[in-house]
């Protein structure tokens, strides 16, 4: 199995990013080959400040390393450091049907809202296809909302293969665990756009204050409560041990407690859960040259594989004479 996954550098990661995706990506790094990249070319569609994009890109790499990605077991690199992907993107665009791209969610939704959409957004799925196909990836972990991009990738690869021969490996989506969807501090899905996030690397004191402000219902303290579906309990379950979860569930069903007690337990459990990654991140952030070396080494490995695939594609369609 060859796994590929990318993360956009658009800000600091929150619990939803980690439990809903990043943790599951990293769990796959022990497969035959794993490629992880910071998708700074994709981020250009939304981040237009050059200094900010560079900062976000380095931060995203540090975050992944701090959260457990091991460069000795997986290849980590920055997307733009493998220019073969951009060239491959052009080969795919020459045969990409306009109708296929017009049906893609991000572009279609923006147009439906009357918002301006640029060519970068329109061709975003083609670049994503190039990201996947450049490394002969056969497994791509995605959430339900990203499944369309894998379908587009398969369509483009199948069309190219039909026209020029069997060039590309056909990738398959690995759907991420839907149960890992994380509620925000208001009970809605955790999202930066809703301003309801808990950042992984927040200062523990700042995070504790945010946790203590989590919205709850107004049921009296002595009333028993069913933990299933309670967003405060859901958050606690993510960072507590199994024994702690069971004890908290029993407390809910018994009643006679206040939500402030649960919030304090959540803040304590979160501080313990993320203590090691937070410490590792501080160490990595103090050694940016070391992180850049890891990314350079990853880019070299990535380019070695991508250049093989690109040469195969160029020869198939007559660009090598």
- Active site positions, annotated: 110, 189, 192
For residue 76, what is the enclosing H or E element? strand 75-78
Residue 170's closest CA among 184, 185, 180, 155?
155
Furthest-apart CA pair in the chain: how many Å? Answer: 80
Residue 105's closest CA among 138, 130, 128?
128
| Cβ-based neighbours of 177, under 8 Å, separated by 6 or more | 24
**Residues 189, 183: contact at Cβ < 8 Å?**
yes
Cα(126)–Cα(88) distance, rounded to whole angstroms?
9
**Residues 62, 277: contact at Cβ < 8 Å?**
no
- Of the CA atoms within 13 Å of residue 71, those in its CB half-sphere come to 22
For residue 220, what is the enclosing H or E element? none
Instruction: Tell me whether residue 230 is exposed, middle or buried, using C-beta atoms within 10 angstroms of its C-beta: 0 to 12, 13 to 18, 19 or more.
Output: buried
Q: Which residues pair with 3 in a beta bridge?
A: 34, 139
**Residues 142, 109: contact at Cβ < 8 Å?**
no
Cα(6)–Cα(37) distance, rounded to whole angstroms?
5
């Amino acid at each position: 199995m060859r796994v590929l996954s990318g993360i956009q550098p658009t800000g600091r990661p929150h619990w939803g990013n980690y439990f809903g995706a990043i943790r599951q990506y990293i769990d796959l790094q022990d497969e035959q080959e794993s490629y992880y990249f910071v998708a700074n070319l994709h981020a250009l569609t939304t981040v237009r400040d050059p200094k900010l994009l560079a900062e976000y890109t380095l931060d995203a790499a540090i975050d992944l390393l701090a959260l457990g990605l091991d460069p000795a077991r997986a290849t980590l690199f920055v997307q733009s450091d493998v220019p073969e992907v951009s060239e491959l993107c052009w080969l795919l665009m020459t045969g990409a049907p306009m109708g296929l791209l017009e049906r893609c969610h991000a572009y279609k939704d923006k147009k439906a809202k009357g918002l301006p959409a640029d060519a970068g957004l329109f061709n975003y799925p083609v670049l994503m296809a190039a990201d996947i196909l450049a490394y002969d990836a056969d497994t791509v972990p995605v959430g339900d909302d990203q499944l369309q991009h894998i379908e587009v990738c398969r369509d483009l690869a199948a069309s190219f293969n039909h026209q020029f021969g069997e060039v590309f490996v056909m990738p398959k989506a690995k759907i991420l665990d839907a149960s890992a969807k994380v509620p925000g501090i208001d009970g809605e899905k955790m999202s930066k756009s809703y301003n309801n996030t808990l950042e992984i690397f927040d200062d523990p004191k700042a995070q504790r204050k945010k946790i203590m402000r989590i919205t709850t219902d107004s049921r009296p303290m002595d009333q028993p409560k069913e933990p299933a579906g309670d967003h405060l309990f859901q958050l606690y379950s993510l960072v507590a041990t199994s024994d702690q979860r069971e004890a908290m569930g029993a407390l809910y069903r018994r009643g006679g407690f206040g939500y402030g007690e649960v919030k304090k337990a959540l803040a304590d459990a979160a501080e313990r859960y993320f203590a090691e990654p937070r410490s590792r991140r501080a160490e990595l952030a103090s050694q940016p040259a070391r992180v850049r070396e890891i990314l350079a080494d990853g880019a070299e490995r990535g380019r070695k594989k991508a250049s093989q695939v690109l040469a195969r594609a160029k020869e198939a369609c007559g660009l090598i004479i």
